[in-house]
Amino acid sequence: MKRLKIYIIILWIFILLTGCADRKILEDIGLITTVGYDLAGNNNIRSTMVVLQIDPEAVRNIDVISSEGLTSKGGRLNANLKTSKELQSGQLRVALYNEEIAKRGIKPYVDTLARDPSISDLTYLAIVEGSTKDLLKHEYHNISDVGQQLFNQIEQLTDKEQISNATLQEVQQSYYSDGIDPILPILKRDGELIRVTGNAVMRNDKIVGKLSPDDSFYVKLIRDQYHAGSIELPFEMKDENGKEQKVTTVIDMIVSSRDLSLKDKNIPQFDLQLNIKARLLEIQGDVDLTIPTNVKQLEKALNNKIKKEAKKVITYSQERNSDIFGFGEVYRSSVRHSDLTKGKWHEKYKNMTYTMKVDFRLVRTGITE
Amino acid sequence: MFRKREIKKLLQEKPFVESQETNTSSDIPLDSVEFLKIIQQKLHYSADFKTIKISNLTIIYIDTQVNIKELNQNIIGHLKNVQVYTEKNVITEIAVSEIQKSYSMKNGMLSILKGSVGIHIDQTSTLLLINIPTDNNRSLSKPENESQVVGPQIGFNESLATNISLIRRYITTTDLHNERFVIGSRTNTEVSLLYIDGLASQAMVTRFKEKIKSIDVDGLLDSAVLNQLISDNALSIFPQMLLTERPDRICDGLLNGKLAILVEGSTMAILCPLSFIEFFESREDYNVRWPIASFIRLLRIIAMLLSVFFTALYVAALSFHYEVIPQALLVPLGESRSRVPFPPLFEALLLEFIIELLREAGARLPTKVGQTMGIVGGIVIGTAAVQAGFTSNILIIIVALSALASFTTPSYTMGSLIRIIRFPLLFLAGFWGFYGIMFGFCIILIHLLRLTTLESPYLAPFYPPRFADWLDSIVRLPIKFTFRRPQLARPQNRNKYNPDKVK
């Protein structure tokens, strides 16, 4: 009898609680796949949303809605006034921030995404040169779903290691840890295409500088410890006769790793060692790769080139006072009771010195003519 | 009625062995006229009850139960030669091996009902029983419900004697125990308990016998009913003993120290104890090479999970958790859903109901009409339902897939359980989403953990963890490694063979 009572109670709970679950039936909601934030007048934020239209009869799959509000969520509420379906951001894939907003700081807008459990931590974040509304609203000739296009483009480039991995989770992690600053890709509408123009150098949540895609390669080389993608490198080297000649190579990193250690905690000073194993994809110039000494020469030249360029990028970041490489992380883990904060580290980072060694090896030169 | 022990003793008697009962206790009347009168009264003047009188002999039988040809040739034909009808003369003259003497009216009647011919000699208080039952068995055929590609193609039929002989053909050892019981106060069904001495746990055998003896029902028509009567938890939806029509499966179990029960008139034998995972094993797994066997077993487990959870996951994702739907699926899913006027739960229930209808109709229809079901199912349900906007075509794929997956389970009882169990999960998914599915899964898991099969844990070898038995559970490793008998049945001898001598 006692058991029966329990069963009856469970059955009652089952019947009574069925109304408690918040039902969101797929075809009854407007799925926001991409959102962009711009500054509008009166301290307002203009949110532009790409909403997936699930209607077989509709001409276009997507609907782009813009609306203003004091906050990003307020913008969404206002946008809701313009649709027949309740807007939900659980399928959000890409969030875009206008450069002006990024100068003010993107933290509140990132934070609201992270706060919502239905939003994936793997949502990509990016900075847009110019207005995000223009980028999203533009009717491209060859792009039917701009949201899908953006997501695929960023994902593809991230997979191919051409831009840093700027997911919601990565950006938050960089933002909240004391010794590293976030880095976000910069997008721009280029006529009928969307182009990645480089990477945004951030200090905390504010944009302080820009790096070209080529420079971003060195950031990846030092920041991401394991793998960097391919790069085109023009440089000069001496040929057999000792004559300077221009050579351009495209190399693909097979393995790259960095060893970073703190030498002196007062200055602070670091030892940076880059180990790169790469293969040669293309070479423009008169170099006979069948001769081993030539390959050695090439390695040496590439070594110097990489060193030079990397130093340039680090100097740039020091000028802008943004530690996008994560030197601070090493500092924090090497110094006991450092009580590091963002502010303290940015003070130190300006004066940081380092010695750099590059160990570059061409593992494969491929079939040469 | 009779006491069971008495009948059991009687049934175990060998031919020509004097009954233990003494003359003094005999209740058979001396006078043949009076004897006949009592018998006829007991049988309520049954139309098929026949008597033949040869001088002072009264031959009684039920003509639908005895082999008339044998009766004429070997009994009446031989009795004609006898001058003086004494008991001794009659026994020596009759050319039938199974003759029994009875002093009890009740036992005599029971034998006659089962196909014996009774001979009463005037002025004696004994009844000679000659067993010549009609031979109306179906010939042996393929096990239709448990077919295999690699392996013997023979199944049990309805005769207990034939079924035991099938088992003895595989296991020829003196250690094979065969104990006879009688169950059912009206049907008096013979039941045989088989086990191998030296392998089967004595405690289990004793416990099992107690269970059988405690059964008090008036009729037992099939082993499936017996299975429900002796299960540890009769209310559970999960089968705790295997019903199989394959003699090789039974023999495999016996060799692992399990117990088998065969019931007269039933084509299915019971094998116990059996853990949950063993319902997904088939004898064929041992006949093919181990990587193939492991693959097939994994496939079955995945199919089972798919069948139980797939539709529920679809319903939950579409009603509550749109976030988890992959981006590539959003548009096709949404578009096919947008034509459907019902909520996902109702849509899924409708389609599951149609599939169950098709399945049940397919099982009941005669084979010739059965083929029409495919057409009806394929065209009417598959195409028309989608075009009419009744269901989405993605759901059709999901439901068909889970229906297909539920057929991969070798045990029919387990297969039908998988059919049923997805309905509560579907409701939970439709009302509570993933939380509901998790809740349902937990309830099932807790129930499985509490279940026992012949008082052995049902979820063994996973809980309690018995790592040695894992080698032959969801995967099957080569024969060299699976030399130990599963611990589930507590076999007296754990090693099947010496692994060093097996490659």
Q: What is the pLDDT of residues A111-134, one digit of tens each?
A: 999 998 889 999 999 999 999 999
Structural domain total, chain A: 2
B330 touches chain A (CB under 8 A): yes
Domain co-membership, A196 together with A299 = no
CA angle B29/B32/B33 to nearest 5° reads 105
Q: Which residues of B touch A86 (CB under 8 A)?
A: none
Cα–Cα distance, B15 to B129 (Å, whole number): 10
Domain co-membership, A68 together with A175 = yes
Domain co-membership, A290 together with A181 = no
pLDDT band at A173 (very low <50, low <70, confident <90, very high): very high
Domain assignment present for A9: no
Rounded to a whole number of angstroms, the distance from the CA of A29 to the nearest CA of chain B is: 9
Q: Cβ of A296: how many Cβ atoms within 10 Å?
A: 11
* Tokens representing residue B473 in the block: 């559970």
* Tokens representing residue A5 in the block: 């009572």
Cα–Cα distance, B206 to B208 (Å, whole number): 5
Q: In what order do the strands lie in the sheet with B99-102?
A: B49-54, B57-62, B116-121, B127-131, B99-102
Domain co-membership, A230 together with A166 = no
pLDDT of the residue at A3 = 85
Of A14, A52, A118, which is closest to B330 when you measure between CB atoms?
A52
B172 touches chain A (CB under 8 A): no
Domain assignment present for A15: no
Q: Which residues of B touch A55 (CB under 8 A)?
A: 335, 338
Of A21, A29, A33, which is closest to B432 when you measure between CB atoms?
A21
* Tokens representing residue B98 in the block: 């199974």
Q: Cβ of B257: how many Cβ atoms within 10 Å?
A: 24
Report the b/e string of B25-61 with b at 16+ CB within 10 A. Answer: ebebbeebeebbeebeeebeeeeebbeeeeeebbbbb
Domain co-membership, B127 together with B148 = no
Helix ranges restricted to H, chain A: 2-17, 72-80, 99-104, 107-115, 132-137, 146-159, 168-176, 213-223, 292-320, 327-334, 342-350
Rounded to a whole number of angstroms, the distance from the CA of B20 to the nearest CA of chain A is: 49
Domain assignment present for A259: yes
B233 touches chain A (CB under 8 A): no
Asked if B337 lies within 8 A of A151 by C-beta distance, the reply is no
Asked if A33 lies within 8 A of B327 by C-beta distance, the reply is yes
pLDDT of the residue at B5 = 54
pLDDT of the residue at A131 = 92
Residue of B nearest to A22 (CA): B320
Domain co-membership, B301 together with B449 = yes
B34 touches chain A (CB under 8 A): no
Cα–Cα distance, A77 to A70 (Å, whole number): 11
Asked if B432 lies within 8 A of A17 by C-beta distance, the reply is yes
pLDDT of the residue at B17 = 44
* Tokens representing residue A365 in the block: 């030169």
Last residue of a domain, one of A154, A184, A211: A211
The answer to whether the beta carbons of residues A79 and A47 sit under 8 Å apart is: yes
Cα–Cα distance, A80 to A89 (Å, whole number): 12
Domain assignment present for B488: no
3-state secondary structure of B299: helix
pLDDT of the residue at A367 = 59
Of B323, B334, B433, which is closest to A27 when you measure between CB atoms?
B334
Give the model confidence (pLDDT) of B275-307 as tens digits. 999 999 999 999 999 999 999 999 999 999 999
Rounded to a whole number of angstroms, the distance from the CA of B108 to the nearest CA of chain A is: 47
Domain co-membership, B241 together with B297 = no
Nearest CA to A158 out of A254, A228, A97 is that of: A228
Asked if A118 lies within 8 A of B343 by C-beta distance, the reply is no
Rounded to a whole number of angstroms, the distance from the CA of B447 to the nearest CA of chain A is: 14
Q: Which residues of B touch A26 (CB under 8 A)?
A: 317-319, 322, 325, 333-334, 337, 344
Asked if B318 lies within 8 A of A25 by C-beta distance, the reply is yes
Domain assignment present for B464: no
pLDDT band at A150 (very low <50, low <70, confident <90, very high): very high
Which of A29, A33, A54, A94 has the most B C-beta neighbours within 10 Å, making it the best mutation to test the interface with B? A54
Domain co-membership, A182 together with A111 = yes
Angle between helical axes of B290-319 and B434-450 (0-180°, round to 10): 140
CA angle B409/B264/B235 to nearest 5° reads 50
Rounded to a whole number of angstroms, the distance from the CA of B332 to the nearest CA of chain A is: 9
Within 13 Å, how many C-alpha atoms sit on residue B152's CB side? 18
B77 touches chain A (CB under 8 A): no
The answer to whether the beta carbons of residues A349 and A318 sit under 8 Å apart is: yes
Domain assignment present for A5: no
Question: So what's the ipTM on this one?
Answer: 0.82
Domain assignment present for A30: yes
Query: Which residue in the block uniquely carries the two structure tokens 């502010």?
Result: A343
Contacts of B417 (CB under 8 A, 6+ apart): B237, B238, B239
In order, the DSSP letters of A13-76 are HHHHHGGGS----GGGEEEEEEEEEEE-STT-EEEEEEEE---TT-SSSEEEEEEEESSHHHHH
**Whether pTM exceeds 0.95:** no
Domain co-membership, B32 together with B9 = yes
The answer to whether the beta carbons of residues A34 and A93 sit under 8 Å apart is: yes
Rounded to a whole number of angstroms, the distance from the CA of A185 to the nearest CA of chain B is: 22
Structural domain total, chain B: 3
Asked if A27 lies within 8 A of B435 by C-beta distance, the reply is no
The answer to whether the beta carbons of residues A30 and A64 sit under 8 Å apart is: no
B329 touches chain A (CB under 8 A): no
Domain assignment present for B490: no
Of B318, B322, B335, which is closest to A91 when you measure between CB atoms?
B322
Task: Give how far Cα B375 sits from Cα of B142, B380, B396, Å.
Answer: 27, 8, 16
Rounded to a whole number of angstroms, the distance from the CA of B435 to the nearest CA of chain A is: 9
Residue of A nearest to B326 (CA): A91
Domain assignment present for B368: yes
Domain co-membership, B264 together with B303 = no
Rounded to a whole number of angstroms, the distance from the CA of A331 to the nearest CA of chain B is: 39
Domain co-membership, B23 together with B123 = yes
Nearest CA to B444 out of B460, B466, B459 is that of: B459
Last residue of a domain, one of A183, A211, A239: A211
Asked if B338 lies within 8 A of A27 by C-beta distance, the reply is yes
Q: Which residues of A touch B335 (CB under 8 A)?
A: 54-56
CA angle B244/B246/B249 to nearest 5° reads 85
In order, the DSSP letters of B396-458 are HHHHHHHHHHHTT-S-HHHHHHHHHHHHHHHHHHHHHTHHHHHHHHHHHHHHHHH-EETTEET
For residue B317, give the amino acid letter.
A
Cα–Cα distance, A26 to A148 (Å, whole number): 18
Domain assignment present for B49: yes
Cα–Cα distance, A274 to A302 (Å, whole number): 13
Cα–Cα distance, B269 to B263 (Å, whole number): 7
Count chain A–chain B contacts defined by CB atoms under 8 A. Answer: 67
Domain co-membership, B233 together with B352 = no
Domain co-membership, B270 together with B292 = no
The helices-and-strands tally (H runs, E runs) of chain B is 20, 12
Computed over every residue of chain A, the mean pLDDT equals 87
Asked if A24 lies within 8 A of B320 by C-beta distance, the reply is yes
B442 touches chain A (CB under 8 A): no
Query: Which residue in the block uniquely carries the two structure tokens 């007269």?
Result: B264
Domain co-membership, B296 together with B433 = yes
Q: Which residues of B touch A14 (CB under 8 A)?
A: 431
CA trace torsion B138, B141, B143, B144 (10° rounding): -90
Residue of B nearest to A57 (CA): B335
Interface of A with B (CB under 8 A): 14, 17-18, 21-27, 29, 31, 33, 52, 54-56, 61, 88, 90-91, 93, 118-120, 148, 151
Q: Cβ of A182: how many Cβ atoms within 10 Å?
A: 26
Q: Cβ of B334: how many Cβ atoms within 10 Å?
A: 23
The answer to whether the beta carbons of residues B340 and B421 sit under 8 Å apart is: no
Question: In order along chain B (503 residues), what is the average pLDDT of each group of 10 residues?
Answer: 50 46 69 88 88 87 88 86 82 84 86 89 87 85 88 91 93 93 90 94 93 91 92 91 94 94 93 93 92 95 94 93 87 85 91 87 78 74 79 87 89 90 93 92 94 92 91 90 90 89 80
pLDDT of the residue at B18 = 46
Domain co-membership, A340 together with A261 = yes
Domain co-membership, B249 together with B350 = no
Helical (H) or strand (E) element with A284: strand A269-284
Domain assignment present for A243: yes
pLDDT of the residue at B365 = 80
Last residue of a domain, one of A151, A176, A211: A211
Of A21, A26, A118, which is closest to B333 when you measure between CB atoms?
A26
Within 13 Å, how many C-alpha atoms sit on residue B388's CB side? 10
Residue of A nearest to B328 (CA): A148
Domain assignment present for B502: no
For residue A156, give the amino acid letter.
Q
Domain co-membership, B14 together with B119 = yes
Asked if A54 lies within 8 A of B319 by C-beta distance, the reply is no
pLDDT of the residue at B200 = 93
B139 touches chain A (CB under 8 A): no
Contacts of A128 (CB under 8 A, 6+ apart): A36, A96, A97, A98, A99, A135, A186, A187, A188
Which of A10, A24, A27, A113 has the most B C-beta neighbours within 10 Å, making it the best mutation to test the interface with B? A27
Q: Which residues of B touch A91 (CB under 8 A)?
A: 322-323, 325, 327, 330
pLDDT of the residue at B6 = 53
Residue of A nearest to B345 (CA): A25
> Mean pLDDT highest for which of A50-59, A215-224, A263-272?
A263-272
> Any idea what the CATH number is for the domain that residue A326 is in?
3.30.300.210
Contacts of B257 (CB under 8 A, 6+ apart): B195, B196, B199, B200, B201, B485, B489, B490, B491, B492, B493
pLDDT of the residue at B245 = 93
pLDDT of the residue at B16 = 47
Q: Which residues of A touch B327 (CB under 8 A)?
A: 33, 91, 93, 148, 151
Asked if B323 lies within 8 A of A118 by C-beta distance, the reply is yes
Domain co-membership, A286 together with A339 = yes
Q: Is the dihedral of CA B61, B63, B66, B70 positive or negative?
A: positive
Q: Which domain holds residue B368?
A: 288-456
Domain assignment present for B139: no
Nearest CA to B35 out of B56, B63, B13, B11 is that of: B56
Cα–Cα distance, A279 to A367 (Å, whole number): 11
Give the model confidence (pLDDT) of A258-275 as tens digits. 889 999 888 899 999 999
Domain co-membership, A40 together with A75 = yes
Domain assignment present for B432: yes
Mean pLDDT, range A312-326, rounded to an integer: 92
Which of B325, B330, B443 has the most A C-beta neighbours within 10 Å, making it the best mutation to test the interface with A? B330
Rg value, chain B, Cα: 29
Q: Which domain holds residue A105?
A: 22-211
B404 touches chain A (CB under 8 A): no
Q: Cβ of B303: how many Cβ atoms within 10 Å?
A: 20
